[in-house]
Amino acid sequence: MNEKDKRNVVAIYFSGTGNTKYCVHMLMQELGVQSEIYSIEEGEAVDAIKRYKNLIFAYPIQYSNLPEIVREFIIANAELWNGKNIFILATMGAFSGDGAGLSARLFRKYGAVVTGGLHIKMPDSVADVKALKKPDKENRELVRRANEKLKQVAVKLKQGKIPKDGLSIWHHVAGLFGQRLYFYNKTRKSKDRLKIDRTKCVGCGECVEHCPKNNLVLREKKAQAKGDCTMCYRCINRCPVQAITLLGDKVICQGVIENYLEENERV
Ligand SMILES: Cc1cc2nc3c(=O)[nH]c(=O)nc-3n(C[C@H](O)[C@H](O)[C@H](O)COP(=O)(O)O)c2cc1C
């Protein structure tokens, strides 16, 4: 990779609880890329996409589907993708089938070339469902293994060997039948299902401040949802009194990426 290539790519991501953000930063670091990295929540993201031809685009998987906020961002900026080269990174708790393929199909529709796909297993962010919950020690190990994989992928990318995770027809079939048909429309149907326990809520405003959709407001010193949840679980994992739930009725275990990293490993 020459000096020009090192600045030739921009990374754009969405991350609910920090897993995807962490993976993007690690990949850029391992690639030796001194470039810009933006969340789709930042105003600069759109401008950066306009300036670069090569993109890394990253997001977490939700029920073998794209988070609503990511789908909306891609569609709202449909005219930006024409002629871009896009490498897709998808993080997930266990399995997604065609995680990278989900946005690849949209990007191709809007004229982009999808250069590759990468799936990275990270700690599960669904704090109120028991199924995939792991002890902190196992989650730390998961993050360590993710780091190893990102290092190996960076070496391969520099040699021109590009992974194609989630991009084949077989991945598409696996994603569809593995989960998506079963959970069909779950992401959309759950837009207005956020539950806030008013007896627990202390009105600190942490959820209001961090919601990527501005879906939360404080009314009479209690948090209230407006019905536009993207199911990222950021508020649920950050609420200091565990007053917010979505799919389950009780917070079982809160976790954000910082919990699984040493101070000097945080991005
Ligand atoms: C609503 C929801 C649904 C999820 N569905 C899946 C899934 O179908 N398969 C999977 O492997 N992980 C699933 N996960 C786990 C996340 O993809 C995983 O924890 C991801 O790394 C979170 O990234 P983030 O911290 O950047 O938001 C789901 C998470 C959420 C919040």
Residue (of 219, 259, 257, 256) closest to 238 by Cα position? 256
Question: Going from the N-terminus, what domains does the chain have, and what CATH number goes with each?
Answer: 3-183 (3.40.50.360), 191-246 (3.30.70.20)
Largest Cα separation within the chain, whole Å, is 58
Question: DSSP string of 73-104?
Answer: HHHHTGGG-TT-EEEEEEEESS--SSHHHHHH
Residue 212 has pLDDT above 80, yes or no: yes
Residue (of 113, 92, 98) closest to 169 by Cα position? 98
Banded model confidence at residue 237, pLDDT cuts 50, 70, 90: very high
List Cβ neighbours of 151 (8 Å cut-off, separation of 6 or more).
30
User: Comparing 154 with 183, which gets the higher pLDDT?
Assistant: 154
Over residues 17-73, the pLDDT tens digits come to 999 999 999 999 999 987 899 999 999 999 999 999 999 999 999 988 899 999 999
| Binding site membership of 235 for ligand 1 (Cβ less than 6 Å) | no
Q: How far is the CA of 221 from the centre of ligand 1 (A)?
A: 31
Residue 3 has pLDDT above 80, yes or no: no
Helix (H) or strand (E) holding 244, with range, is: strand 244-245
User: Comparing 74 with 172, which gets the higher pLDDT?
Assistant: 74
Over residues 145-167, the pLDDT tens digits come to 999 999 999 999 999 999 999 99
Cα separation values, 215 from 131, 198, 211, Å: 27, 17, 6
| Binding site membership of 256 for ligand 1 (Cβ less than 6 Å) | no
* Mean pLDDT of the residues in the chain: 92
Residue 117 has pLDDT above 60, yes or no: yes
Q: Would you state the pLDDT for residue 184?
A: 61
Beta strands in 83-237 (DSSP E): 85-92, 113-121, 195-196, 216-219, 222-225
Banded model confidence at residue 255, pLDDT cuts 50, 70, 90: confident
Cα separation values, 23 from 52, 122, 161, 226, Å: 20, 9, 19, 31
Cα–Cα distance between 204 and 216 in angstroms, integer? 12
| Binding site membership of 18 for ligand 1 (Cβ less than 6 Å) | yes
Q: Of all atoms in ligand 1, which is nearest to the CA of residue 187? A: 1
| Binding site membership of 93 for ligand 1 (Cβ less than 6 Å) | yes
Q: How far is the CA of 44 from the centre of ligand 1 (A)?
A: 25
Over residues 74-108, the pLDDT tens digits come to 999 999 999 999 999 999 998 888 899 999 999 99
pTM of the complete model:
0.94
Q: What is the mean pLDDT of residues 121-127?
A: 96
Q: How far is the CA of 51 from the centre of ligand 1 (A)?
A: 30
Over residues 8-19, the pLDDT tens digits come to 899 999 999 999
Extract the tokens encoding 125. 């962010």
Q: What is the mean pLDDT of residues 173-182?
A: 71
List Cβ neighbours of 247 (8 Å cut-off, separation of 6 or more).
126, 128, 129, 190, 193
Q: Would you state the pLDDT for residue 1?
A: 47
Q: Would you state the pLDDT for residue 186?
A: 62
User: Comparing 204 with 132, which gets the higher pLDDT?
Assistant: 204
Residue (of 148, 147, 98) closest to 119 by Cα position? 98
Residue (of 259, 236, 256) closest to 247 by Cα position? 236
Q: Would you state the pLDDT for residue 20?
A: 98
Q: What is the mean pLDDT of residues 202-227?
A: 97
Q: What is the mean pLDDT of residues 112-130?
A: 96
Q: What is the mean pLDDT of residues 228-256?
A: 95
Q: What is the mean pLDDT of residues 164-185?
A: 76
